[in-house]
Amino acid sequence: MNDIFPYIVWGTLGVIALIIIGSNVRVVRQARAYVIERLGAFQTVWGTGLHITIPFLERVARSVSLKEQVVDFPPQPVITKDNVTMQIDTVIYFEITDPKLYTYGVERPMSAIENLTATTLRNIVGDLELDQTLTSRDVINTKMRAILDEATDPWGIKVNRVELKSIIPPREIQDAMEKQMKAERERRQAILKAEGEKQSQILVAEGEKQSVILRADALKQAKILEAEGEAVAIMRVQTALADSIKLLNEAAASDKVIQIKALEAFAHAADGKATKIIIPSEIQGLAGLATALKEVVIDS
């Protein structure tokens, strides 16, 4: 029994040593950092990998996430320049760039950022009126990000973005804004309707104008064609008369025959359309003779 006792003691000590060593072996995961203290003072910052602390001398003071973090703060009451109290909900996107400063720079960093965000928001919105606040989100976001980033730099925090999640004015202001928007929509609708009627009337007038122009052009073309037809007919009559006279001259016709041919030419020129024909005096007698001969032929 006495021979076994030393082995038991050494075995127990070995197990205790293994437990102590195992408890001081740390594996730092990706996107995390460990802040190490030795005898209560800052020693170093461990990055990703396997690390061993010195038992009873070193300890892990804080495990810090290096990922970008999002914090949605509850709505804060903010008073505008024209004394309107609104509830503004803010979202902060940040990341820890220096684990040491984050650990020792400020007590309760999230509470510090929330209070700093609220005071900064009140200062910025306090210089704006209600309408400016509702339409200047990008300006407010940019100003807040610049101010918060500078203020949190000693804490090892980098503010990447600041967004105003919601701006909630008082109920009576919301009602007034809804009435204003409704009136504006009705005004735009009336303008669009009037513009539509105006365009419709313009199109109708343009159509009537084009119709009148087309009718006038058609009438013009008809008259031109009619005049051209009459001109062609007259030219054909004149050509026939000239050819007839030429043939008579070649045949050495007498004056009586020429006068009869002239009378026939006058008849063809009238063509049943003329209401009055002036016959030269020298062929009037011949015209009467021709009429008498025509009646004699008919009676026979």
Domain boundaries, the chain: 5-65, 69-169, 229-299
Please check the confidence at residue 118 and state whether its pLDDT lies above 50. Answer: yes
| Other Cβ atoms closer than 10 A to 256 | 11
Alpha-carbon distance of 244 to 238, in angstroms, equals 10
Q: Please give the average per-residue pLDDT across 272-288, as a whole number.
A: 51
Ramachandran region, residue 87 (left: φ > 0; alpha: ψ -120 to 50; beta: rest): beta
3-state secondary structure 4-68: CHHHHHHHHHHHHHHHHHHHCEEEECCCEEEEEEECCEEEEEECCEEEECCCCCEEEEEEEECCC
Beta bridge partners of 26: 51
Q: What is the DSSP letter of 2?
A: T
Please check the confidence at residue 159 and state whether its pLDDT lies above 90. Answer: yes
Quick: pLDDT tens for 168-198: 888 887 777 777 778 888 888 888 888 888 8
Q: Which residue has the higher pLDDT, 97 or 298?
A: 97
Check residue 168 and give its pLDDT: 84
Confidence of residue 297 (pLDDT cuts 50, 70, 90): very low
Confidence of residue 260 (pLDDT cuts 50, 70, 90): low
Check residue 15 and give its pLDDT: 75
Mean of pLDDT over the chain: 80
Q: Please give the average per-residue pLDDT across 200-214, as a whole number.
A: 87
Alpha-carbon distance of 28 to 34, in angstroms, equals 7
Confidence of residue 4 (pLDDT cuts 50, 70, 90): confident
- Here the tokens at position 281 are 């005096």
262 by DSSP, 3-state: which? Answer: helix
pTM over 0.75: no
Alpha-carbon distance of 282 to 256, in angstroms, equals 10
Check residue 217 and give its pLDDT: 87
Check residue 292 and give its pLDDT: 44
Check residue 290 and give its pLDDT: 47
Spell out the residues 6+ positions from residue 173 whose beta carbon is closer than 8 angstroms to its own. Answer: 84, 130
Please check the confidence at residue 162 and state whether its pLDDT lies above 90. Answer: yes
Check residue 298 and give its pLDDT: 40
Confidence of residue 296 (pLDDT cuts 50, 70, 90): very low
Interaxial angle between packed helices 109-125 and 137-152, expressed in degrees from 0 to 180 and rounded to the nearest 10? 140
**272 vs 173, 223, 269, 276, 294, CA distance in Å?**
93, 21, 8, 10, 18
CATH of span 69-169: 3.30.479.30
Check residue 149 and give its pLDDT: 92
